[in-house]
Amino acid sequence: MPRYALKIEYDGAPFCGWQRQPELTTVQGAIETALRALEPDCEGIQGAGRTDTGVHATGQVAHVDMAKEWDSFRLGEALNFHLRNQGVAIISCAQMPDDFHARFSALERQYTFRLFSRRASLTFDKGTMWQIKHELDLRAMQAGATYLVGKHDFTTFRSSICQALSPLKTLDELRVEQIRHMDGVETRFHIRARSFLHNQVRSFVGTLERVGAGSWQPEDVKVALKAKDRAACGPVCPPHGLYLSAVKYPHNPFAPTPNLR
């Protein structure tokens, strides 16, 4: 059975997360319904990672085994036809070797969190960013973020319902940037790691927002980390500013094929 990798983007607002759940609208469920319109016996897809209710993606990756061989472009187009108006799009599709696995072959996941500072309510960007009314100190947040990079016991930043076997994770990057717009300041948090604990990214951002607002000092992040206690964490920020932005593999499944002459 030929295997295909799918690069997927979606608006998480209408969905109860990525993972298929009986009687709930999920991203995985929507894509599998589209696949079964093409091949009724399709077993479904395997995603690179799960996203919670309301979380978006610009670079989710999944793989699927099809009964017949499809032209990759036509498979992506056919899926997009059935996914139209659902807030999900197949950005790219590529045929892969049988040993490719969207989850287990992944080397790294990258998340981006978007936050916007302004007093007036958001209109066009509502639901795509977390809005606050105060500005944030970029240097303070970046200073606090440095304590989180590396291999640590992240119990403090782990949901109480997290199913991971261990709280030990290695965080490769937590970079904060600010973009000044005419009507406010957008803060973006760029986070990279091989894997994450449940609510880990949103716990990081909620904690660093308190640092940027001046309620915490940067060193307080280190104290919270060392406490290994969920009660020491800052507030968990809302999901609608979070994006699964990329999944890295040993070889890019969607790299353009060289034009050989």
Among candidate residues 63, 82, 105, the one where a domain is terminated: 105
Enclosing domain of residue 97: 3-105
CATH of the domain at 190: 3.30.70.660
The verdict on 87 and 134 lying in the same domain is no
* Annotated catalytic residue 183: no
Residues 90 and 118 in one domain: no
**Does 258 fall in a domain?**
no
Residues of the chain scoring pLDDT < 50: 260-261
Is 185 in the same domain as 203? yes
pLDDT in tens, 64-90: 999 999 999 999 999 999 999 999 999
- Six token digits for residue 203: 């716990």
Phi, psi of 109 (to 5 degrees): -115, 145
Q: For residue 258, what pLDDT is reported?
A: 55
- Tell me the C-alpha distance between 51 and 89, whole Å: 16
The number of folded domains in the chain is 2
Tokens of 164: 């991971």
Tell me: do 240 and 127 sit in the same domain: yes
Q: What per-residue confidence (pLDDT) applies to 257?
A: 63
Question: Of 11, 41, 52, 172, which one is the catalytic site residue?
Answer: 52
Same domain (yes/no): 191, 228: yes
The residue out of 61, 84, 105 marking a domain boundary is 105
Amino acid identity at 203: S
CA nearest neighbour of 200 among 159, 146, 148, 246 = 159
Check residue 260 and give its pLDDT.
47
Burial of 139 (0-12, 13-18, 19+ CB in 10 A): exposed
**Does residue 44 sit in the same domain as residue 87?**
yes
The last residue of a domain, from among 85, 105, 125: 105
pLDDT of residue 261: 45
**Has residue 255 been placed in a domain?**
no
Contact 259, 130 (CB under 8 A): no
Instruction: Give me the phi and psi of 81, to 5 degrees please.
Output: -60, -45
Same domain, 231 and 121: yes
**Residue 38: CATH number of its domain:** 3.30.70.580
pLDDT of residue 163: 87
Query: Rounded to an integer, what distance in angstroms lies between the CA atom of residue 96 and that of residue 93?
Result: 10
- pTM to 2 decimals? 0.94
**pLDDT tens, 220-232?**
999 999 999 999 9
Contact 10, 57 (CB under 8 A): yes
The β-bridge partners of 61 are 7
